[in-house]
Amino acid sequence: MPTTLLKLSCPDQVGLLARISAWVAEQGGNLVEVHQFTDPQAKWFFTRMEIDTHTLRADLPTLREAFEPLAAELQAEWTLRSAESRLRVVLMVSRLGHCLADVLWRWRSGEFAFDIPMVISNHEHYRGTVEREGIPFHYLPVTEDKTSTFRKVASLWDEARADLIVLARYMQIIPPELCQKWPGRIMNIHHSFLPSFIGANPYQRAHERGVKLIGATCHYVTHDLDAGPIIDQEVIRVEHFHTVEDLVRHGRDCERIALARSLRWHLADRVLIHGNKTVVFRD
Amino acid sequence: MPTTLLKLSCPDQVGLLARISAWVAEQGGNLVEVHQFTDPQAKWFFTRMEIDTHTLRADLPTLREAFEPLAAELQAEWTLRSAESRLRVVLMVSRLGHCLADVLWRWRSGEFAFDIPMVISNHEHYRGTVEREGIPFHYLPVTEDKTSTFRKVASLWDEARADLIVLARYMQIIPPELCQKWPGRIMNIHHSFLPSFIGANPYQRAHERGVKLIGATCHYVTHDLDAGPIIDQEVIRVEHFHTVEDLVRHGRDCERIALARSLRWHLADRVLIHGNKTVVFRD
Amino acid sequence: MPTTLLKLSCPDQVGLLARISAWVAEQGGNLVEVHQFTDPQAKWFFTRMEIDTHTLRADLPTLREAFEPLAAELQAEWTLRSAESRLRVVLMVSRLGHCLADVLWRWRSGEFAFDIPMVISNHEHYRGTVEREGIPFHYLPVTEDKTSTFRKVASLWDEARADLIVLARYMQIIPPELCQKWPGRIMNIHHSFLPSFIGANPYQRAHERGVKLIGATCHYVTHDLDAGPIIDQEVIRVEHFHTVEDLVRHGRDCERIALARSLRWHLADRVLIHGNKTVVFRD
Amino acid sequence: MPTTLLKLSCPDQVGLLARISAWVAEQGGNLVEVHQFTDPQAKWFFTRMEIDTHTLRADLPTLREAFEPLAAELQAEWTLRSAESRLRVVLMVSRLGHCLADVLWRWRSGEFAFDIPMVISNHEHYRGTVEREGIPFHYLPVTEDKTSTFRKVASLWDEARADLIVLARYMQIIPPELCQKWPGRIMNIHHSFLPSFIGANPYQRAHERGVKLIGATCHYVTHDLDAGPIIDQEVIRVEHFHTVEDLVRHGRDCERIALARSLRWHLADRVLIHGNKTVVFRD
């Protein structure tokens, strides 16, 4: 069943859900799935409504226009789009290809639907893997002149008309100006259970500390390194006999799963950001 | 903040959420938390709305009367009650007291609020534990005349004006007529990951089968043994060196946690039953 | 560091570990890792010793000859081989390729070392995927004459000089005579948390039963369907809103991880079979 | 079956396991369970051997004397004791009693065997709970003169002839001199997934950070706050709708389980400390 997704957040007030769901009913829309959350501290309202598209009497542009006055009144941040519209996701990778391979496999097998207009890497290593899938591969080495490199990166993102950038183990820091230009649209998979082991070599440091669980964190990238809104985390139990290499290996499975889930939720408009936190209406 | 809980399920149709939330808004009610689920196969609608009681203009009996016409029209099964009203929970136990002890501790510490009008057991073993908490203890040995025994059990349940019966490792089969008289109101903690190892000695059989995970299942009791609607399950990893006694020990922690969560959800009207399945709006 | 693996099981008696580790010390061998387990019920002893190869004074054939008298006296089942020797693993697949893709990725990335002499399938679907990796692909449709088909399968296994057969979602029943000829050498990934939902359509049946956790099981294949020795199991929490398709999707991640772990352990001689159970010296 | 426990760690060298297990065999000892681990970085050897006591030809003092020369040669740190000897565990608690209640329940039910010579608290709150179990309760308020308070604490520990001190949510910092005097013998349950949220109010800070998993850590106390050797960790998934209070509640279950497991392992000589890390031979 084709569906239409309404994602909305706004300051809380009485009767919000009633007014918005009434508006959907007025358009003839049958609600297939509704999520709602009110943050009592922030006094903020979040909702995601999935509507049976066939029951809606108007097309998307008309519906958006019709919703605009209510949205304005509520001071809402919102999107209304077809669940079948395929978002455009640019993948960034360095030398470690397990997350890239995992996303490519899920993409090719149709586990969830999106387009990959290009893959960008600071190494040539995965050119073959990527081009074999019919996806353009851009090699952009990170030289000492990082400003120039990331100007090219930004220009490729624009060219790709990217809806989302996924740092699939891209081991370079994204400059603040790019983070600010693409808020909530750059997703990173970090190889530690944040906020533990922020920064470099988390598995090495986890091993030195002797922790009994390691993990991975998928988060949106902000100018504050490793401190952006967390989307998902995954952990696995480790023991004294695990070497750093074992932690890296176990961590790979955590990373792939946390990234795959986060990507899936983002693509289905299930992740809403408020300040430094996310509301995730999981599926 | 005191809240009022509306729990409702009914055949699905267009505009249900809008109509119900509009009704709440008409009463002045501010929705604190809303859950909704539509089962696409059963074409059945489920909702739970938590309303800020102070914003409601009428008292509970008035509200219930006001809601009755809409509920009738929707052919809904529903309850509307104060979240602060304490449900009356009768505990049943045999020889293994870990679930009893856990529920008593959570009750005494106020982790969640409910009353325990009595504990019933077919052994004297826990009389001290129970009476020390100021709770009446009824010893009802299960003799060969089970009919007579369970007539007494039923009469105690009535006397206790029980909202819920919890079989906290009560190792006796509840007769079908009691199951039918108390549908969705008898909760059992089963010491296996159902439907694995239905019936007796699940840990022994798990050990013989050499499984690598064991678990526990909390479900409502129906006349069909171990086949009632599942509320929650919990598992733990085991290894070849674990004896049956180790499985029993690990299983105890699974049982306590699955039972505690299920009980909490039931008491907060978060569990809705449809046929042989549950909808659980977790917290 | 290159290592030599001694895997041994035998009836229990006093002083076994001392005698075997003394034998290793006599050969100059430095023990890098030792696991030992005694099953008190079966009165059976299991050990795995990983020895620094450089410290051993003789080569493998000589060592095997030297160990033979002790092994015979202990009535032991044993192997002694180089950890670097690559086992030959034949993959079998039907229409669902996620486990195949996962094993291929781990193989190609060198996550653990083994050879894949061929992939056999009853569908042409994955020929491209397989041949692109430089691996021979054999299409063997399962016709009504199953005897003839599996005669060809067996002949391919022989031709491949397979150390292990992995049924990576191969949806055909292996005939008893093949199970008996390859004991402990055919590994299957079953898409349920055994012994729950033995047989066909486990996700569909899990959905109907309303379980709150689903899983996958990796086990050795015996003539008794889905009842062979379990190597590993993995589960994931599901909720009322998950459709059968969601269960299938979540299950895929369980299947891939349970299979990858089991394969890794098997290849490193970490799995010892006794009767219908496994001893797994995990890493 | 009564067993005797040998716990030993020493610098690594060739043939250690053979020599030690040969020594056990010389005493007639049948090994019931053996664990061994060599840390390749630290070049340190760890073992735990569980011996069937009935097969040993001498009593404990004689055995200890007989083992002394070998132990001295290996520069080993070691203990040899009866598994049935009950260790003396002093519990410390402040205002939050869930860990205390859990340990008391496991103690009383005989889940594992140990003595509790006394409970010490800086509040009167749990006097009833403790004395009802027949255990002496010492109220020691922490005044501004901490030195004097902890002199009394230390004197109580001595008086109790404590083998182990368990800080079961004792919210006071143990002075460095006590940490040094009782190395590896003070166990703390910390209410965060260390090294995340070291210090005060971890649940509050986890909520602010918006993490998707919270946890608890059981570790030995050293002079470096929250940085001692970790014994066990436990985590649980949380979501955006969980308040700080919900995190606290979920965290309680993590804390109780991580503490219970750690305590059990410590009492069975399954935890060996080296530097800032533990080797845990889990059961």
3-class secondary structure for A220-250? ECCCCCCCCCEEEEEEEECCCCCCHHHHHHH
What's the gap in Å between the CA of D211 and the closest CA on chain A? 6
8 Å CB contact of A241 and C33? yes
Average pLDDT over every residue of B38-67:
95
B neighbour chains, 3+ CB pairs within 8 Å: A, C, D
Q: What residues pair up with D274 in beta bridges, in sequence order?
A: D277
A246 and C283 within 8 Å at the Cβ level: the answer is yes
Residue C68: C-alpha distances to residues A192, C4, C27, C63 (Å): 48, 16, 14, 9
What pLDDT shows up at residue D224? 86
Residue C88, Cβ neighbours under 10 Å: how many?
Answer: 16
- Is the alpha carbon torsion for D157, D158, D160, D163 positive or negative? positive
Low-confidence ranges of chain D (pLDDT < 50): none
What whole-number distance in Å separates Cα of residue D242 and Cα of residue D240? 6
List, for residues C140-175, the tens digit of each pLDDT value. Answer: 998 888 899 999 999 999 999 999 999 999 999 999
Give residue D230's pLDDT.
98
Looking at residue A71, what is its pLDDT?
Answer: 98
The pLDDT value recorded for residue D32 is: 85
Per-residue pLDDT band at B143 (split at 50, 70, 90): confident
Question: Over 90: is that where the pLDDT of A142 sits?
Answer: no
Q: Which of A189, A230, A240 to mutate to test the interface with D (most CBs of D within 10 A)?
A: A240
Taking only the tens place, the pLDDT of each residue in B231-262 is 999 999 999 999 999 999 999 999 999 999 99
Closest CA to B234 of B211, B249, B250: B250
Average pLDDT over residues C259-280: 97
Structure confidence at residue C14 as a pLDDT band (50, 70, 90): confident
Indicate if A52 belongs to the active site.
no
Alpha carbon distance B35, B279 (integer Å): 10
Q: What is the pLDDT of residue C143?
A: 83
Tell me how long chain B is.
283
pLDDT digits (tens, 9 = 90+) for A86-123: 999 999 999 999 999 999 999 999 998 999 999 999 99
> Over pLDDT 70: what percentage of chain A?
100
- Parallel/antiparallel/unpaired status of strands A30-39 and A44-52: antiparallel
Residues from chain C that touch B231, judged by Cβ atoms under 8 A, are: 212
Which pLDDT value is given to residue B30?
Answer: 87
Q: In the prediction, which pLDDT does D225 show?
A: 79
| Cβ contacts of B14 on chain A, cutoff 8 Å | 25, 28-30, 55
pLDDT tens-digit profile of B189-213?
A: 999 999 999 888 999 999 999 999 9
Model confidence pLDDT, tens digit, residues D160-203: 999 999 999 999 999 999 999 999 999 999 999 999 998 889 99
Residue type, C245: E
**Beta carbons of A109 and C98 less than 8 Å apart:** yes
> What does residue C183 show for φ and ψ, rounded to 5 degrees?
-65, 135
- pLDDT at position A1 over 90: no
pLDDT of residue B225: 79
What domains, with CATH codes, occur in chain D? Answer: 3-82 (3.30.70.260), 89-280 (3.40.50.170)
Give the DSSP H or E segment for B179.
helix B176-181
**Residue with token string 């400003």:** A147
Name the catalytic one among C226, C246, C253, C269. C226
D75-106 confidence digits (pLDDT tens): 999 999 999 999 999 999 999 999 999 999 99
Residues A102, A226, A232, A269: which is the catalytic one?
A226
Residue A21 to residue B24, Cβ atoms within 8 A: no
* Cα gap B79→A265, rounded to integer Å: 33
Mean pLDDT, rounded, of chain B: 95
pLDDT for res B14: 83
Kindly report, residue by residue over B80-95, the tens digit of the pLDDT.
999 999 999 999 999 9
Structural contact between residues C266 and C164, judged by C-beta atoms closer than 8 angstroms = yes
B75-80: average pLDDT: 98
Confidence of residue C201 (pLDDT cuts 50, 70, 90): very high
Alpha carbon of residue B277 to chain centroid? 13
Which of C12, C13, C17, C235 should we substitute to test contact with D (largest number of D Cβ atoms within 10 Å)? C17
pLDDT for A200: 87
What's the complex ipTM?
A: 0.94
Query: A55 is written with which tokens?
Result: 């029951």
What pLDDT score does C225 carry? 79
